[in-house]
Homo-oligomer: A and B are copies of this chain.
């Protein structure tokens, strides 16, 4: 047996973090050398330990897994990043690959696939959920501009056009225009519907 694969796991739900680490520890050729509860912690752990693979969730406090992946690619290219997330959102996959992630695995895949995916990524191979890759292909690119995203996000939180306008220092009419654009781009029937659709695609 060669050297053991050194892995850091980042995941904000402590119980799930511990459980994933326990799962990986059952593999004789894999060692979990650190566990992090958020992106910032994970980044400093990577800096200190220079692991072979970083397995990370996306939605975390302090720093998201997507930002984390970009930072690690930039500063510690010898560590390969694998995203492990609940969300089968085309937009997330696209952004993850853009950020230099080598793998994208869903939490509803069987537990046995985790160790296998870590080994593949360590060998320099890419691991991407095939169904999701296909969906990402035909679901097209994110049609929203940055402004539309900002505004639609706030609308989805229940804020009125006027509130959003004040928050972003815009006129109320402009906010309504952006929302109208977003609604038509997403083929939605109103702002709530539009926010729902954008969230499902991973564009928000």
Q: Which of the segments A20-28, A41-49, A75-83, A143-151 contacts the partner chain?
A: A20-28
Interface size on A, residues (CB 8 A): 40
Tell me whether B13 and A86 are in contact (CB under 8 A).
yes
Distance in angstroms from A113 CB to nearest chain B CB is 7
A116 to chain B, nearest CB (A): 12
CB distance from A7 to the nearest CB of B (A): 14
The distance from the CB of A198 to the nearest CB of chain B, in whole angstroms, is 11
A14: which B residues are within 8 A, CB to CB? 107-111
Which of A93-101, A131-139, A189-197 forms contacts with chain B? A189-197
Digit string of A1-40 for contact with B (CB within 8 Å is 1, else 0)?
0000000000011111111111100100000000000000
Distance in angstroms between the alpha carbons of A20 and B191 in the assembled complex: 39
Residues of B within 8 A of A195 (CB): 158
Interface contact B16-A26, CB-CB below 8 Å: no
Known: A19-B20, A19-B23. A12 touches B108 (CB 8 A): yes
Which B residues touch A193, using CB under 8 A? 157-159
Cβ-neighbour of A22 out of B13, B22, B86, B108 (below 8 A): B22
A143-183 residues with Cβ-Cβ distance < 8 A to B are 155-160
Query: Does A114 touch B at the CB level, under 8 Å?
Result: yes
B110 touches A15 (CB 8 A): yes
Residues of chain B contacted by A20 (CB below 8 angstroms): 15-16, 19
Selected A-B contacts with CB under 8 Å, 25 pairs = A12-B108, A14-B107, A14-B108, A15-B20, A15-B84, A15-B106, A15-B110, A15-B111, A15-B113, A15-B114, A16-B19, A18-B23, A18-B111, A18-B112, A18-B114, A19-B19, A19-B22, A19-B23, A19-B114, A22-B22, A22-B23, A157-B192, A158-B188, A158-B195, A158-B196
